[in-house]
Amino acid sequence: MTTFDEKLVSVLGKKSADALEAGLGLATVGELLRHYPRRYDERGKLTEIAKLEMGEHVTVQARVKSARQRRMKSRSGELLEAVITDGTSDLHLVFFGRGSRKIERELLPGREAMFAGKVGMFNGKLQLAHPDYQVLDGEDENAADFAGAFIPVYPAAQGIQSWNVSNCVEQVLAVWDGVTEDPLPESLRAARGLIPLEKALRDIHRPDGWAAITVAQQRLKWDEAMAVQLALAQRRRSATARPAPACPPRSGLVRDAFEARLPFKLTAGQSEVGEQIAQDLSGEHPMNRLLQGEVGSGKTIVALRAMLQVVDAGRQAAMLAPTEVLAAQHARSLRELLGDLGQAGELGGAEHATRVTLLTGSMGAPARKRALLEIVSGEAGIVVGTHALIQDKVEFADLGLVVVDEQHRFGVEQRAALSGRAGGSTPHVLVMTATPIPRTVAMTVYGDLEVSALRELPQGRSPISTSVVPVASKPGWLDRAWQRIHEEVRKGHQVYVVCPRIGDGESEDSGSAEPPKEDGSDRRPPLAVVDVANRLAEGPLRGLRIDILHGRMPADDKDAVMRAFAANEVQVLVATTVVEVGVNVPNATVMVIMDADRFGVSQLHQLRGRVGRGSAPGLCLLVTEMPDGTSTMERLRAVESTLDGFELAQLDLELRREGDILGAAQSGRRSGLKMLSLLRDEDVIAEARVVAQEVVEADPELAAHPGLAGLVAGLLDDERAEYLEKA
Ligand code: ADP
Ligand code: MG
């Protein structure tokens, strides 16, 4: 009896089971069988080397071109250098030490083999240091493992290669008893032409042709799509079933007064979304709305109008920002926008005025105490802070609305933490993001939110032009860039220089640059704010007023620097991605992003939105040492060529998926869907959404659908749950 739940150790023995568990986190038969091949190689069809991504663990089928022993210059000992090829591009291998004689005998020129390791760069060439390999032809005894036409290539890891996984799967399939009850109801399978789960799992690991693979994948995608959509449908159902503090609009109070003095006319989008939100806030059940709008599209006004409606209803609104810098800035700009309408209790405060209170973790004790008092007494109509505001269980008098600016780091978990905060009811939530979200992502990751968008920018925006500065091929361009900065500053403008790292000697905070790649070999560490600022001050930007900003500075310092920058006392701000979101200094016209290749597409787009916010046009320079022709460079070229955030978001998705198909990102530890592609499976996702909604409406607890309930449970306690939690 070998079932899904059986521990691998009883089937495979301790050694293999331990390796699977340690390397890939697979402990049961079910987990191994759900560990699908990343791709299939046909024997003799070589992997495209040019498309390999730096820093990724890859499995490559290639032909040996040369293998040569040599003595190391600096160290004593032996070194074997080999070159493998796909017929077009080469990849360099290097092996150190004793085994290299044997390796030289095995890696004969002309032989084909699978190689696995982490892609690095050495002397400007792609390299695998110490790869594992398995020869596919010749007399190698293991060659028999690859006798079939298809070689499944599995997500692998250090110490457990694709071919090891394949062997384990083989052994498990031989004794597996199969699936007793298919999780997808027969009616659903029949209507969509989906094959039974057992057949799908056997075929996915041991296909007899491409057709079998496609059919198996389709079935397995449905499992995943249904699990996600059922979970979301249940979540939507329970979220909207909860009571919320109703805040119907009231006339003649702060919101009306504020609107009467708005210095501009709302865009059509702002009014439309505003009306929708006003209606949501009036309701007895919590609003859960996501507002997407490009950088500069004017989301803050939309949020403020919503918050004022809540204040007029006698309740409080909280605005959460991802960093303290942003929180402080929001508090400042909300106070400015409100003027005397935000000065309740102060001299000169308007009639009905409210108060904006800032609360951050690093405030001094007396200030913090005062803020907490204002919040619990209800004096503070609008409370601005970081996400800690929610997690720290700060006590509100009557919290009606939570606005979350820049959603990246705010997930379902935090939203869940809100329930019960408003005296037994759940506050309304408005999440705002400047990162455009492709439809499939909206239907999955944000599938429990209503989505609205601001698609137009207010009048009077200046265009941003973007250029890649390829230091490798055009070394002179960087000097030109610094001259350009002098010119801008002479015109009275200001400049951001963004670096991926802080560099103050302490261990770096994660999340400063994305994607976080650990590159092997000789790739130097990312440029650091502190070093770059020093070098610029002594070199190309001598004479300019330069300062730095990063997440680990004390809050007061950060605040002081932001003020100084806003007042043009600082001309060049060298910073980490703390400037990524929401920072608004319209006089800044140039952004130079150092080591731009270390950032993701959407992140670069986000960053450059910091310039061109005033009447002068903005310029964004993407500085990189990456050579042309790499996929990293392609990514930068894409950012250079379009300002359409939706297009870039789609591209981000595509590039990540491409990485998967190529066997890059083969760690298998990534959370996320295994089979379902947010890029290609829009139809499955959309259909599953409809089916799931129907099922949950008729049977909210899935009592009559044990198979489906099992899928959802599997999703929720699986690491894949992370996929939903993390937004
Ligand atoms: P974001 O969507 O990036 O948060 P903001 O809310 O910070 O954008 O708005 C950017 C700038 O545009 C602000 O200075 C804001 O006052 C201004 N703004 C917002 N709405 C309008 C409008 N309808 N017309 C003109 N300017 C506007
Ligand atoms: Mg904003």
Residues 174-197 pLDDT 10s = 999 888 889 999 999 999 999 999
* Continuous segment of H or E residues that includes residue 132: strand 132-135
Six token digits for residue 289 = 């709305």
Handedness of CA 378, 384, 390, 394 (dihedral sign): negative
**CA-proximal residue: ligand 1, atom 5 (nearest):** 298
For the segment 617-646, the average pLDDT, to the nearest whole number, is 87
288 with 427, same domain: the answer is yes
Assess if residue 689 is contained within a domain. no
Q: Which atom of ligand 1 is nearest to the CA of 584?
A: 7
**Sign of CA pseudo-dihedral 442, 446, 447, 453:** negative
Of residues 380 and 415, which shows the higher confidence score?
380
Q: Which ligand is nearest to the CA of 406?
A: 2
490 shares a domain with 445 = no
Cβ 133 vs Cβ 115: under 8 Å: yes
| Residue with more model confidence, 4 or 540 | 540
| Cα gap 603→580, rounded to integer Å | 8
CB-based burial of residue 409 (10 Å sphere; 0-12 exposed, 13-18 middle, 19+ buried)? middle
Whether 232 is in a domain gets the answer: no
Cβ atoms of residues 213 and 199 within 8 Å: no
Mutation pick for ligand 1 pocket among 294, 301, 403 (CB with most ligand atoms within 8 Å) = 301
Q: Residue written as tokens 């309701």? A: 283
Ligand 1, atom 17, lies closest to the CA of: 298
Helix count and strand count (H, E) for the chain: 25, 21
* pLDDT single digits (tens) 560-593: 998 999 999 999 999 998 876 556 788 999 999 9
d(C-alpha 248, C-alpha 563), whole Å:
37
CA of 295 to the centre of ligand 2 (A): 7
Same domain, yes or no: 340 and 469: no
CA 138/CA 122 separation, integer angstroms: 30
CA angle 106, 666, 603 (to 5 degrees): 135
Whether the per-residue pLDDT at 703 is higher than 60: the answer is: yes
Closest ligand by atom to 268 CA: 1
CATH number at residue 429: 3.40.50.300
Q: Is residue 68 part of a domain?
A: yes
- In a shared domain, residues 491 and 363: no
**Domain end residue (candidates: 80, 112, 138):** 138
pLDDT tens digit sequence for 250-293 = 999 999 999 999 989 999 999 999 999 999 999 999 998 989 88
In a domain, 169, yes or no: yes
Whether 33 and 49 map to the same domain: the answer is: no
Report d(CA 44, CA 39) in Å as an integer. Answer: 15
Looking at ligand 1, which atom is closest to the CA of residue 265?
Answer: 23
What is the widest separation between alpha-carbon atoms in the chain? 91
- Compare 494 and 413 and report the one with higher pLDDT: 494
pLDDT of residue 326: 85
pLDDT at 514: 36
* Atom 26 in ligand 1: residue holding the nearest Cα: 458
How far is residue 389's CA from residue 374's CA, in Å, rounded to a whole number?
Answer: 14
Neighbouring CB atoms inside 10 A of 260's CB total 7
Q: Does residue 249 lie in a domain region?
A: no
Query: What SS3 string covers 71-130?
Result: ECCCCCCEEEEEEEECCCCEEEEEEECCCHHHHHHHCCCCCEEEEEEEEEEECCEEEEEC
Q: What is the pLDDT of residues 49-91, one digit of tens each?
A: 888 877 777 888 999 999 988 776 666 677 889 999 998 889 9
516 CA to middle of ligand 1, Å?
32
Separation of CA 401 and ligand 1 centre (Å)? 21
275 and 383 housed in the same domain:
yes
Please indicate, yes or no, if residue 696 is contained in any of the structural domains: no
pTM listed for this prediction: 0.65
Could you give the CA distance from residue 60 to residue 38 in angstroms, rounded to a whole number? Answer: 12
| The ligand 1 atom nearest the CA atom of 405 | 4
If phi over 0 gives left and psi between -120 and 50 gives alpha, with beta otherwise, what is residue 598?
A: alpha
d(CA 263, CA 257): 12
According to the model, what pLDDT value does residue 412 have? 59
3-state SS track over 520-582 = CCCCCCCCEHHHHHHHHHHCCCCCCCEEEECCCCCHHHHHHHHHHHHCCCCCEEEECHHHCCC
Our count of domains for the chain comes to 4
Q: Which two tokens stand for residue 632?
A: 């990293």
Indicate if 520 and 410 belong to the same structural domain: no
Cβ 305 vs Cβ 255: under 8 Å: yes
CA 295 to ligand 1: nearest atom: 3
Phi first, then psi: give them for residue 83, nearest 5 degrees: -125, 130
Report the share of the chain in percent with pLDDT over 90.
Answer: 46
What secondary structure, in 3-state letters, does 450-479 show? EEEEECCCCCCCCCEEEEEEECCCCCHHHH
Q: Which ligand is nearest to the CA of 613?
A: 1
Instruction: Determine which residue's CA is closest to atom 4 belonging to ligand 1.
Output: 299
Minimum-distance ligand to the CA of 296? Answer: 1
Distance of CA 419 to the CA centre of its chain: 26
For the cut 50, the answer to whether the pLDDT of residue 443 exceeds it is yes
Q: Is 148 part of a structural domain of the chain?
A: no
Of the residues 454, 483, 504, the one at which a domain ends: 454
Q: Strand 464-470 and strand 78-85: pairing?
A: unpaired
- Residue after which a domain boundary falls, among 642, 663, 684: 642
Pick from 300, 430, 461 the residue to mutate for probing ligand 1's pocket: most ligand atoms within 8 Å of its CB.
300
Q: Is the pLDDT of residue 525 over 50?
A: yes
> Which amino acid is it at 600?
G
**Pair 424, 492 in one domain:** no
**pLDDT grade for 422, boundaries at 50, 70 and 90:** low
Q: Are residues 582 and 499 in the same domain?
A: yes
Buried b (16+ CB within 10 A) or exposed e, 328-363: bbbbbbbbebbeebbbbeeeebbebbbbbbbbbeeb
- Note whether 18 and 85 are same-domain residues: no
Burial class (CB within 10 angstroms; exposed 0-12, middle 13-18, buried 19+) of 442: middle
Please check whether residue 209 lies inside any domain of the structure: no
On whether both 407 and 509 belong to a single domain, the answer is no
Are 307 and 371 part of one and the same domain?
yes
Report whether pLDDT(341) > 60: yes
Structural domain that includes position 88: 45-138
Measured between alpha carbons, how far is 483 from 5 in angstroms, rounded to an integer? 65
pLDDT digits (tens, 9 = 90+) for 140-179: 445 444 444 688 989 888 788 899 999 999 999 999 988 8
Give the angle subtended at the CA of 643 by the CAs of 637 and 644, to the nearest 5°.
110
Q: What share of the chain is helix, strand, coil (3-state, %, to 5)?
A: 40, 20, 40
Tokens encoding 144: 């028999």
For ligand 1, which residues put their CB under 6 angstroms from it? 264, 266-267, 270, 293, 295-301, 434, 458, 584
Looking at the chain, how many residues does it have? 727
Q: Are 624 and 468 in contact (CB under 8 A)?
A: yes
Structure-model confidence comparison of residues 375 and 122, the more confident one: 375
Who contacts 588 (Cβ-Cβ below 8 Å, separation ≥6)? 493, 494, 495, 496, 565, 573, 610, 611, 613, 614, 618
pLDDT at 377: 95
| Contact assessment for residue 164 and residue 18, using Cβ atoms and an 8 Å cutoff | no
